[in-house]
C-alpha cells in the first residue's frame, strides 16, 4: 500500500512541482475567477477577498497563515478552518451554522446547468477532516443567490476517508440525499471532477468513471462552483490544494 500511495501521489502532484512556495496562492493558481470567504469578520458578515486582491505572487494570504496561505514546503494552497462558532468564535454567513475558508466562483457569477460544459476539477489532500459525520465540504455547486440560499450538491470528506455527495431534492433545500462516491485515506492526494452539464450532475474520483446523480426537482437552476474547506463539525480542518481548474 505505501508504494501505491507514493505512485498516486507522484501522478497527481506532477503539476505541483511547478508551485512556488515563495508566492502567495494567486501566484500559483488562477484566482481571477474566484472570490474568497474567510471564517473571520463580523457575525453574519464574514471577511471576503475579491479576485482583484487574490491574483499574483504578492496577492492575498492571511498574515498569520491561519486560514489561507501557501505551504512553505511544496507550494500547496492551504485552507484551514478552526472549528465551529460555538468553540472558536469563527464567523458564518447568515444562512449557515458552519465556518468556511472557501473560494466562490465569481467570473462568471453563475451559469446554466443546461449548457454543455460546466466542470470543476481539483487535485488536493485532506490533511485533517473535521469531526462531523459526513466531514468537511471540499467542493460544491451552489444555486445562484437570486434563486435560492441552498446548494445543488456538496462533496463531503470525513475522518474515515469517505467521499460522499449530498444533493438537494428541491430549491428550498433541507432534504439532501447523501450518496457515497469513493474512499481515499486521510492525507493521500487525489482528484475529483464535478460536472453539471446538459442538465446532468456527475462526480468522478481519481479519473474514474463519472457517477451520475439525480437532481430530483431542482430543474437546472442557475448555479456556480465553490471549492475549499467548509467545516461541518466542531474540530479544526485542514485541506491542501494542488490544482483548481474550472471550465465552461
| Tens digits of residue pLDDT in 116-135 | 999 999 999 999 999 999 99
In a domain, 133, yes or no: yes
In a domain, 198, yes or no: no
Query: What pLDDT is recorded for position 14?
Result: 57
Query: What pLDDT is recorded for position 10?
Result: 53
In a domain, 164, yes or no: yes
Number of domains the chain contains: 1
Q: Which domain holds residue 139?
A: 2-114+123-191+214-247
d(CA 126, CA 172): 30
d(CA 221, CA 20): 38
In the structure grid, which three cell numbers stand for residue 76, read together? 500547496
In a domain, 204, yes or no: no
In a domain, 197, yes or no: no
In a domain, 149, yes or no: yes
pTM of the model: 0.94
Q: How many Cβ atoms are within 10 Å of 217's Cβ, its own excluded?
A: 11
**Numbers of helices and strands, H then E, in the chain:** 4, 15
| Tens digits of residue pLDDT in 182-240 | 999 999 999 999 999 999 999 999 999 999 999 999 999 999 999 999 999 999 999 99
| Tens digits of residue pLDDT in 53-91 | 999 999 999 999 999 999 999 999 999 999 999 999 999
H-helix or E-strand spanning residue 52:
helix 51-54
Question: How high is the mean pLDDT of the chain?
Answer: 94
Domain at 49, CATH number? 2.60.120.200
6 pLDDT higher than 80: no
In a domain, 224, yes or no: yes
Q: In what order do the strands lie in the sheet with 223-230?
A: 45-49, 34-42, 100-105, 223-230, 136-143, 151-157, 162-167, 177-183
In the structure grid, which three cell numbers stand for residue 212, read together? 451520475
In a domain, 235, yes or no: yes
Amino acid at each position: 500500500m505505501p508504494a501505491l500511495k507514493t505512485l498516486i501521489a507522484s501522478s497527481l502532484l506532477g503539476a505541483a512541482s511547478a508551485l512556488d512556495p515563495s508566492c502567495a496562492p494567486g501566484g500559483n493558481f488562477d484566482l481571477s475567477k474566484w472570490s474568497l470567504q474567510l471564517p473571520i469578520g463580523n457575525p453574519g458578515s464574514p471577511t471576503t477577498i475579491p479576485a482583484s486582491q487574490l491574483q499574483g505572487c504578492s496577492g492575498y494570504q492571511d498574515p498569520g497563515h491561519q486560514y489561507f496561505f501557501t505551504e512553505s514546503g511544496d507550494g500547496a494552497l492551504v485552507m484551514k478552518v478552526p472549528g465551529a462558532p460555538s468553540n472558536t468564535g469563527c464567523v458564518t454567513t447568515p444562512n449557515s451554522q458552519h465556518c468556511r475558508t472557501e473560494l466562490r466562483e465569481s467570473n462568471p457569477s453563475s451559469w446554466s446547468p443546461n449548457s454543455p460544459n460546466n466542470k470543476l476539477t481539483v487535485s488536493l489532500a485532506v490533511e485533517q477532516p473535521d469531526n462531523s459525520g459526513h466531514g468537511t465540504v471540499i467542493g460544491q455547486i451552489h444555486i445562484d443567490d437570486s434563486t435560492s440560499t441552498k446548494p445543488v450538491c456538496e462533496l463531503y470528506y470525513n475522518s474515515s476517508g469517505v467521499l460522499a455527495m449530498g444533493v438537494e431534492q428541491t430549491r428550498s433545500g433541507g432534504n439532501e440525499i447523501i450518496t457515497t462516491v469513493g474512499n481515499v485515506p486521510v492525507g493521500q492526494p487525489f482528484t475529483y471532477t464535478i460536472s453539471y452539464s446538459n442538465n446532468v450532475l456527475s462526480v468522478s474520483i481519481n479519473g474514474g468513471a463519472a457517477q451520475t446523480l439525480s437532481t430530483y426537482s431542482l430543474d437546472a437552476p442557475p448555479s456556480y462552483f465553490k471549492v475549499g474547506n467548509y467545516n461541518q463539525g466542531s474540530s479544526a480542518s485542514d485541506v491542501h490544494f494542488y490544482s483548481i481548474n474550472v471550465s465552461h
